[in-house]
Each structure stands twice: as C-alpha cells, then as structure tokens.
Amino acid sequence: MKKGAVKIAMYLNYFVFAILLNSVGIVILKSQANYGVDELQASILEAFKDLPIAIVSFLVASFLPRIGYKKAMLIGLGLVAVACLSMYFGNSFNAAKILFATVGVSFALIKVSVYSLIGTVTESQQEHNSLMSSIEGVFMIGIALAYFLFPAFNSDSNPDSWLNVYWLLAGLTLVSFSFLFFTPFEESKEIAGVNLVDDFAQMFALFAKLLTIVFVISAFLFVMIEQGIMSWLPTFNSKVLHLPENISIMMASILAISLAVGRILAGIITKKINWIWVLSFCIILAMLVVVFVLPKTVGLQVQEINTLTDIPLIGFAFPLVGLFIAPIYPLLNSVVLSALPKKLHSAMTGLIVVFSALGGTLGSRIIGYLFKNEGPENAFYYTLIPMALLLVSFFILKKLTTKNEVTS
C-alpha cells in the first residue's frame, strides 16, 4: 500500500464532501426562491443531511471492516456522483431532499473509513495527530470554498443557472472515485468481533470505558461550540454589527478559513509539542477572545457598508476564534483512536460521528434559544461554559491515555 497515495485519496474525499455538506444553507435559500417552499419547509434539508450521517454511522461502523474501507468509500463517492446529476436534471425540492440524504449516507461511509484508515498509514501518535489535523483542515478549506463556488454559478437572467455547479461537483467526485479506485490498498485483517452481532457488542462495550465516556462528552461539547458559532455568526453579524445580509454570510467564510488554518498549523505543531499543551493553550486563547473581543463588537458604530473592506477591523476579530478552537476536534479524535487497538477504530469512529451530530444539532438549538431570549449581543458569552468544561476534560483524557486504560 502506497501510504502517500492513500493520504491523497483521503484528502480528496474530505474536500469534496466538505463542499457538498456546507452547501445545505445555500440550497435552503435557493429552495425558497425557486421551489415555492417556506423557511420551515426548507429547513427540513438539514435533517435530511444530518440524520442519515448519525444513523448510518451507528449502523455500519462496527462491521465496516468486513466490507472494506476502500469499497465503502467507492460506494459513497459513486452514490454522490449520481445524486449530483439527479439534482441537476430533477431541479426540484424533492431532488434536493434526495441529494442531501445521499450525501449524508455517503459521508457516514467516508468519515468512518477515513478515520479508521489514519491508524493504518501512521506509525506514531504524533503522526496520527498531524494527519488527523491536516485532513480536518482540508475539510474546512472545502467548507470555505462553498461560500464562493455556488455564487459563481448564479445568474440574474437564469434562475436555474446555479444548478450547473452540480456538473462540477459530480466531476470532482468522479476524479476522487478514479484516484481511489486505482490506489492499491492493503486493509487490516483485524475485525472487532467474530460475527456481525459480536461487532455491535464490541462497539457497545466501548461505552463501559471511562476514556470513551469522557471523550464522547468532550467531542459533544466541542461540536456544540463550533456549530453553534458557525450557524449563528451570520445572524450575529446582521443583528449586532448591522451588516447587510449578503456581507454577513460572506463573513462566515472567515470563520471557516480560520478553522482551516488552525487545523493545518496544528498538524505541524503537534509533531514537536505534546497535544495537551497545544489544546490547553488554544482553549484559553479562545476564551480570552470571547471575554475581551466580543464586548468591543457590541454597540459598534458602523457606517454604510457595501463591501468587506468597509467593515471595521474589530468586525473581523471574533471569527478568528476559529484559529484557536480549530485543533481541538481532530486532536481529541486522534488521541483517543491512538489509545485504542486498530480493530476498534471503526466502532469508535461511529460513536464519534453520532455524538458529533448530536452536539452540532443541540449546539445550534441552544445558541438559537439564547439569541432569542438573552439577545444576540449576549448569546456567544455562554460558549465560555463548554470551553471551561473542555479544558478540564483535556487533563482527564491525558491521564487516562497515559495510563493506557483502553486495552485490546
């Protein structure tokens, strides 16, 4: 197995799916304009995306090694290529539902496979940390690109011109499919259980481990923070900074870019510095941004704004919190997976994806509740609570992984 080629295949897969997953907000807007649905009806697309990710991850993670990671990823990529073309020719709200349901199912296969494969192409925890961080960094680059890619296909004279983006996305998916197809794989022969029932039993047995419990709580808390900020930053920009709607949405790309840069830098730094010090330093800096930068944005006197260059510099400061929260998710995942025998990586990845989906959903709901009841200028202060809890969890995880509590 050529490890370099396998790594490139993982990067390509994550990049393509980042664009597709992050496009749901854009398609929600397009659905209201083109398909005659209201906000409530359009919002169902989020569920069509997220629920399949959680459900399929839970159902297939434990026995995916039996299918084979390469085969699973090829199935996911093939399904998405067909779904992209179906969206172009279907051009309807039902086609959009099918698209995101397919993207959700396929991403579950991709994420479980990629996370499990990282352990087979790295030799140490430092390598594992670095690759995990850089893959998640590439994912954030794809998310940032989506904010600019879809608008590039818009046309005032043709309301359906935006659908042409799906030809490009189908092409990118097929490129990734082809590269993966011709990449030689030597997959691990280790399988968690003796049969499918035992595979599930092994996954449930992970819940008995204190390390697993602390970890899934930590992952849940982080995704609650990240998705809460990412989902509601455009609303914050609009209601607190009083930016025009289109500028508010474009500003969200700054958060995605800062997350990408933070994760790529973390992949380099963790080769030299132990993960516990990197994460502790980052979460403390993130808390300082909330405490000292956020108040300066409230009550800011903003003149007429037509472009990004008209925004006061302080308006760009809070999205930079992404730089400091960026390393947390990939490094936590890497640390825990490195502490497990490789045969359990797939099962643990299933738990990661399920609790990440729950954390993202709940985080967005909580921040939405706070925006409504505490005011948009105060809502983000409450992220200090899960940040403080995360700081404590880092040291608990460090102690548990140092003791090698999880055994094969």
d(CA 38, CA 163): 20
**Choice between 351 and 20, residue whose per-residue pLDDT is larger:** 20
327 DSSP assignment: T
Instruction: Estimate to the nearest angstrom the gap between the alpha carbon of 29 and the chain centroid.
Output: 21
Give the lowest-confidence range in 98-102, 330-334, 367-371: 367-371
- CB-based contact 347:408 (threshold 8 Å): no
Task: Identify the architecture of domain 3-402 in CATH.
Answer: Up-down Bundle (1.20)
C-alpha pair distances (Å), 241 with each of 237, 295, 306: 5, 12, 13
φ, ψ at 89 (rounded to 5°) = -80, -30
User: Tens digits of per-residue pLDDT, 392-408?
Assistant: 999 998 888 876 544 44
* Helices (H), ranges, 240-383: 245-269, 275-288, 294-297, 314-317, 321-325, 328-338, 345-373
Q: Give 391 or 125, the one with higher predicted confidence.
A: 391
pLDDT in tens, 302-334: 666 666 666 767 777 888 888 999 889 888 888
Task: Judge whether 257 and 363 are in contact, CB under 8 Å.
Answer: no
Q: Is pTM, for the whole model, over 0.75?
A: no
The DSSP output letter for 242 is -
Residue 130 and residue 269: Cα distance in Å, rounded? 8
CB 376 within 8 A of CB 236: yes
Closest CA to 129 of 315, 360, 290, 336: 336
Which are the contacts of 216, defined by CB distance < 8 A and separation ≥ 6?
351, 352, 355
Instruction: From 357, 354, 336, 358, select the one nearest 345 (Cα to Cα).
Output: 336
CA distance 28 to 39: 8
For 279-300, how does the pLDDT look when each residue is reduced to its tens digit (9 = 90+)?
999 999 999 999 988 887 766 6
Summary mean pLDDT of the chain: 82
What is the pLDDT averaged over residues 202-222?
Answer: 80
In percent, how much of the chain has pLDDT > 70?
Answer: 86
114-139 residue pLDDT tens = 888 887 787 777 788 788 888 888 88
Residue 150 has pLDDT above 50, yes or no: yes
3-state secondary structure of 305: coil
* Tokens linked to 388: 């403080």
* Mean pLDDT confidence for 16-43: 81
Q: Which residue has the higher pLDDT, 102 or 363?
A: 102
Which of 210, 237, 160, 212 lies closest to 351 in space, CA to CA? Answer: 212
Angle of helix 245-269 relative to helix 275-288, nearest 10 degrees, comes to 150
pLDDT of residue 200: 65
- Contact (CB, 8 A) for 331 and 132: yes
Q: In Å, how far are 201, 289, 322 from 263, measured between CA atoms?
A: 34, 18, 9
Burial of 72 (0-12, 13-18, 19+ CB in 10 A): buried
pLDDT, residue 377, reads 80
